Chain A
């Protein structure tokens, strides 16, 4: 099953490598990993989705916590949280096919971020299953994407509680 973790790590060279190397060594598959700045200077926030046995979450978290450059790890399995993913979808579309595409985009609240005579690029930020549904709807309408880029999930707990120590 998929386990999702939020990790705060030192913003230093090689730290991403350490995290990924650990998961590989423990024989867990990384489904997605996003990393970027957060509210604390010199700290990188990661959202990691790993595919592992149902009881693996404790070991993954405890093992990551042993890394010198890992400051905090929060396992958010089963916790109330917002999980969003960003997707960019480039689709071949000329003036005749564009309208049908824009109608679908409106339904799914996808934005046009680039428009050319022969193609357009849509941006959608949504839960993973909504993005899946959008892609499915495109295919159902015979629309093939030229390129799809997905960020992988970004997670944050609901409420006041920050990432637990």
Chain B
């Protein structure tokens, strides 16, 4: 009898003898995997030999780092674990950056690597490397599988761990002889024990009472909205809390989209490049309600001066995050949505508009000028591109995948994200080269969505060979390169903190239009404001990969900026005669 699985694909019946290689794919199919990103090689060849017997789409990448970012983008866009596969040695070491990226941002991916035969393990065999040793600190868990009968249980547990609790990357390293041996395959018998952490705490009535009391006493509360809201699917509950108790919301970078940007209580992004009123509101608050966020140094500024008058309530899944950077008064540990549902019945309605009005007043003149209304000086600014991209895609269901650097911050400031999973970006590790492969993963996961890469000229060149993957897989992907001829964020730091000593930041690039064309993709170069929207439309209308090289102002900087070590309110503000002003509220 055939067993039906989560994606209604028939698995080999229980008791069938399969090779380890076949067991890998049969287990993936059983776990509901439809797409994997990979690169073949010697130690994983038995698995590849069996690939075509199974209903799995394999996307051939150009570098294993790309495979991990694709799996990551796939997971961020869909919420389902992404899968990457590679060979031993260099195949595995090339995955390190992608694993660390997923680890820092709590993204569920499962990476499978081939390993040399168990008979030569430990002998420095050809393409042998200590994969589990290398990846131990950058995975949630990893496995070295040397026996064929351990393949299915390890893989099934890998999915459970990657997606359970606070998600993260899991790596399964499988020796070549384990792939080649035969064993009885039984998907159901290989089911893992329920995932648990021995530190899981309970949310007690007493803690709920404490939190509610602090909320009712607060006069100047602020919600800090993090990635956990998206992970937990708690948008509705967060908005209910904010609306009932009139609490303004500040978002972390990964929290953008967790609540709609257009919501009147949503202030926008906090932190190093957060708008001034957002950071001011946090610094003046008497209560911070931190939801699924971890007080990263990029959002707190100097800890000694962080929100000095505020008591803190932290609702968080991971007990290890409690009081790690910022000491909190009440910690409610658990799934955010479940905790909020337990909390909400006791939360009182607040009618006093004074605090919300005061926060709005903090916006002052910082937000009054719409960049759309600034005279066209002939210069093209990245902010223009972001604003126009937002206007052109706001009505749809677009996913924006950013790289790391200035363009990432401009996107976060000027693109108004309305939905969870509409912004995918490497927040924790800050991985340049992330955007293009992550966007490929997002597009494979959500082919019906409009997916945009937004990358700088530096980061784009770190993984640009994946343009060939876009071409080979015929992906309808739009790619905006914000090209300013510098490693812009580093240049900005050199300008502000290193006396404009632009060492190693001027950047020569290939002709991106011709590069794209060489890969068989459409492309356009844009230098003027008036050309931005037509180019975006052309990309939207084109079926297939489309690259736009936006040649923007070279020495523009991201404002405001909280210098490292400064208090959150000690921002370098936009200059008096700004090149670019903040976009008005949508």
- Chain A: residues with CB nearer than 8 A to chain B? 14, 17-18, 21-22, 25, 55, 58-59, 61-63, 65-68, 70-73, 165
Q: Which residues of B contact A59 (CB under 8 A)?
A: 320, 323-324
> What would 29 A/B residue contacts be, using CB atoms closer than 8 Å?
A14-B132, A14-B144, A17-B133, A17-B136, A18-B136, A21-B137, A25-B137, A55-B327, A58-B323, A59-B323, A59-B324, A61-B199, A62-B318, A62-B319, A62-B320, A62-B322, A63-B320, A65-B197, A65-B198, A65-B199, A65-B320, A66-B140, A66-B166, A66-B320, A68-B140, A68-B161, A70-B198, A73-B198, A165-B198
> Bound complex: CA of A67 vs CA of B195, how far in Å?
11
Q: Which residues of A contact B137 (CB under 8 A)?
A: 21-22, 25
State how many angstroms separate the Cβ of A165 from the closest Cβ of chain B: 6
Contact A68 B136, beta carbon cutoff 8 Å: no
State how many angstroms separate the Cβ of B207 from the closest Cβ of chain A: 15
Q: Which residues of B contact A72 (CB under 8 A)?
A: 198
State how many angstroms separate the Cβ of B462 from the closest Cβ of chain A: 25
- Chain B: residues with CB nearer than 8 A to chain A? 132-133, 136-137, 140-141, 144, 161, 166, 197-199, 318-320, 322-324, 327
> Bound complex: CA of A18 vs CA of B320, how far in Å?
17
Closest 5 CB pairs of A and B: A65-B199, A62-B320, A62-B319, A65-B198, A68-B141
Which of the listed residues A65, A72, A73 has the most CB atoms from chain B within 10 Å of its own CB?
Answer: A65
A66-B318, A68-B141 known; A55+B323 contact, CB < 8 A: yes
> Bound complex: CA of A58 vs CA of B136, how far in Å?
22
Q: Which residues of A contact B322 (CB under 8 A)?
A: 58, 62
Known: A21-B137, A63-B320, A65-B319. 4 other contacts (CB 8 A): A62-B199, A62-B318, A66-B140, A66-B166
Q: Which residue of B lies closest to A24 (CB)?
A: B137
A62-B322, A66-B318, A68-B161 known; A21+B198 contact, CB < 8 A: no
State how many angstroms separate the Cβ of B202 from the closest Cβ of chain A: 12
Q: Which residue of B lies closest to A14 (CB)?
A: B132
Q: Which residues of B contact A17 (CB under 8 A)?
A: 133, 136
> Bound complex: CA of A35 vs CA of B136, how far in Å?
20
Q: Which residues of B contact A62 (CB under 8 A)?
A: 199, 318-320, 322
Q: Which residues of B contact A71 (CB under 8 A)?
A: 198
Which of the listed residues A17, A58, A70, A165 has the most CB atoms from chain B within 10 Å of its own CB?
Answer: A58
> Bound complex: CA of A63 vs CA of B140, how far in Å?
11
State how many angstroms separate the Cβ of A25 from the closest Cβ of chain B: 5
Q: Which residues of B contact A73 (CB under 8 A)?
A: 198-199
Q: Which residues of A contact B199 (CB under 8 A)?
A: 61-62, 65-66, 73
Which of the listed residues A21, A62, A63 has the most CB atoms from chain B within 10 Å of its own CB?
Answer: A62
Q: Which residues of B contact A165 (CB under 8 A)?
A: 198
State how many angstroms separate the Cβ of A132 from the closest Cβ of chain B: 34
State how many angstroms separate the Cβ of A67 from the closest Cβ of chain B: 8
